[in-house]
Structure 1
């Protein structure tokens, strides 16, 4: 039986492992974290129909149901707003009849816990990948603890700083975009819900000030209405906010700032915005506020397929501005799982996977970078023009459907 090694136990790598295990294949995941609880951090994840279909197909039925039972209950209609909360455009997202074709909001912590379920004998923790060597018997993997493993197929799912990619495709680079983002969590309780405009809790929103910066908002609403919240373990409702700006707008020492200092910095930068938007930042606990430098991969030309392949951020790392990175990784996992379990020779199956993955993956990279650049665009006229277009599209449904349908 073909032995498949997955380097990295993130969302994409674990989804692939679940699918391969479900299909009866021999798979091992090598994860640098020492324990399953090392990565109890992060924000909500928007799962789109591509991601949902991947989870549905790769997870066993009981874990798919557990995923559905733990997703948020908020709406998915996407709003464009000015910094004074004037509505520019609302994109309605009708609920799909099949949950596998729908949009979902899920805690990143919860999703990883579900993806780890049932893989106790598959995931090897404390295994930091160092390098590989190709041999006549397969690929030998070397880890920092001095151990080795041999696999017939190796899948790099070890993120944007992938060591596998650095050795296998050294010309595939990630670069800085010059955009800096600060994110935090505004707690949603019975009291705080009354303090802000309902549009901010009804669904995700993109806030467009005159120029140079932007604010993305996304509620993770579990329906709880109590007065307390435990945002550090992601088990309560909140609104994720992510404020971004281009070069020169943040202090030069922004990387050294604490959560409280980052919060005060953003609050000062939006001091003239609508009070409800300022509350989101000012009432967030500083421990939930963090700096997110924005990097992106550079699309590369096709390479010769072998028994080593890549998925997710390991090959097509993208900015978070369209919220699609996790979904593209899940799409990769589903497609690669189908290829490797289809009965074809491994290199032929991988070649087909990589051809498709490069097409939609690098297209997503380009779209995401374009969205990031628009998010912090410095041209006042370009921002006015975009707002005018959004208002026009809101007035004419056919135009809105053509542009956003």
Structure 2
């Protein structure tokens, strides 16, 4: 078998960009095919936990991420009215936790490999040719490589080509994400503060450049139409009687800076690789955002797949090794994220009281579980 040299990557988001950078640094030749006209991540923030900042350190990007992000010290869960349920210190690792805008992280990842990106190319199908793989695009472009990685998100076309059409599972929640320069008076610096109510939740955290990122989730039927009054008015009504910082943040955010998405995942299944083709990030293991691990696990995937391709001459063996290393961890996180989502579905006042009491009593256990998740080093 020959060494995998040219690696085709479908999708240029955070997972695809991180994979291109990791492969480039491993001495391989990645080329990323992205369907959009320009590389940009929409306005949302993410927490990069220590398991993800470990990857940034290995890619020599940690100092840059610290510079454009904001150091996070605590993750605090509260009742709807603001009573503390659990307070988890997250600054006890050898690596920092960083609040960062998705676009800032994306910029850090792709700036060193931007010449490896081919834009406005929508993947159509793939074709096995002996030891090579050929990707065809709707533009008529056709390219050949030694291996192909699908990093094309929740509704991955590479996944459909590999495993057949299997729709993701709607989990009865929609989410809103907002960005504002307003910092509420009660904000505790360094904190992610999350508030849990009846079938709803709201959280916020600082990003770099003195920006506040917030997110809300609520139970909703599939494809529920947006409120005619707009996202902002809808949220103002939904959260009007919550802890003061919550309605303040909604009020301070421009309508244009509020995004909404329905929440999906997939039951963890194998395989997600076939011969010299594999999947990565949301294409392989989409998860609910309740554990904040979507982008973090995509960064882990990128680092591990590059390591396997560097160590194994045969991409088929490399992808088998990559999947066997990544499946147990990502399965665990997908399932934990779903369990956390179900806790947020509770609507009955007694169930809420029991949940809040349980969280208070199990604070140490929750904290330890959280820390073990972030202590992982790919």
Does TM, normalized by the shorter one, top 0.5?
Answer: yes
Contact persistence 2:178–2:215 (CA under 8 A): yes
Contact persistence 1:130–1:144 (CA under 8 A): yes
Contact persistence 1:50–1:330 (CA under 8 A): no
Contact persistence 1:173–1:298 (CA under 8 A): no
Bigger shift: residues 305-314 or 135-144: 135-144
Q: RMSD of aligned C-alpha atoms?
A: 2.3
Matched, 1:368 2:342: no
Deviation by residue 1:285-310 (Cα, 9 ceiling, x = unmatched): 11111211111112224367410001
Give 1:219 shift.
2.0
Tell me, what secondary structure is at the counterpart of 1:121? Answer: helix
Aligned to 1:45: 46
**d(CA) in 2 for partners of 1:295 and 1:285?**
26
Contact persistence 1:266–1:281 (CA under 8 A): yes
Matched, 1:175 2:175: no
Aligned to 1:71: 69
State the TM-score, normalizing by the size of structure 2. Answer: 0.90
Matched, 1:314 2:283: yes
Contact persistence 2:99–2:205 (CA under 8 A): no
Q: Call closer, same or farther: CA 1:375–1:400 in 2, change over 3 Å.
A: closer
Give matches, 1:5-404, under 5 Å: 5-36=8-39, 39-57=40-58, 59=59, 61=60, 63-73=61-71, 75-97=72-94, 101-136=95-130, 138-170=132-164, 172-188=166-182, 193=183, 195-199=184-188, 201-209=189-197, 211-220=198-207, 222=208, 236-247=209-220, 252-254=224-226, 257=227, 261-302=230-271, 305-393=274-362, 402=368, 404=370
Tell me, what secondary structure is at the counterpart of 1:280? Answer: helix
Tell me, what secondary structure is at the counterpart of 2:359? Answer: helix
Tell me, what secondary structure is at the counterpart of 2:322? Answer: helix
Contact persistence 1:15–1:55 (CA under 8 A): no
Unaligned runs of 5+ residues in structure 1 are 223-235
**d(CA) in 2 for partners of 1:401 and 1:280?**
27
Give 1:339 shift.
0.3
Unaligned runs of 5+ residues in structure 2 are 372-378
**d(CA) in 2 for partners of 1:128 and 1:291?**
24
Give 1:168 shift.
0.2
Tell me, what secondary structure is at the counterpart of 1:321? Answer: helix
State the TM-score, normalizing by the size of structure 1. Answer: 0.84
Give 1:133 shift.
1.0
Q: Call closer, same or farther: CA 1:303–1:86 in 2, change over 3 Å.
A: closer
**d(CA) in 1 for partners of 2:214 and 2:107?**
24
Tell me, what secondary structure is at the counterpart of 2:230? Answer: helix
Give 1:251 shift.
11
Q: Call closer, same or farther: CA 1:393–1:65 in 2, change over 3 Å.
A: same
Q: Call closer, same or farther: CA 1:382–1:403 in 2, change over 3 Å.
A: farther
Tell me, what secondary structure is at the counterpart of 1:317? Answer: coil
**d(CA) in 1 for partners of 2:366 and 2:179?**
31
